[in-house]
Structure 1
Amino acid sequence: MAGITTYVQESYNELKNHVTWPTFAEAQRLSVVVLLFSVIFSLAIWGVDTVFSNVIEQYFKWVKS
Structure 2
Amino acid sequence: MAGLVNYVQESYNELKNHVTWTPLAEAQRLMVVVAVFSVVFALAIWGVDTVFSKLIALYFEKIVGA
TM-score normalised by the shorter chain: which range applies? 0.7 to 0.9
Q: How many residues align?
A: 65
Where does the alignment leave 5 or more consecutive residues of structure 2 unmatched? none
TM-score, length-scaled by structure 1: 0.86
TM-score, length-scaled by structure 2: 0.85
Where does the alignment leave 5 or more consecutive residues of structure 1 unmatched? none
Moved over 6 A (4+): none
Identify the residue that residue 11 of structure 2 maps to in structure 1.
Answer: 11
Aligned-residue Cα RMSD (Å) equals 1.2
In terms of Rg, which structure is larger? Answer: 2
The alignment-based identity, stated in percent, is: 69
In the aligned structure 1, how far is the partner of 2:20 from the partner of 2:62?
59
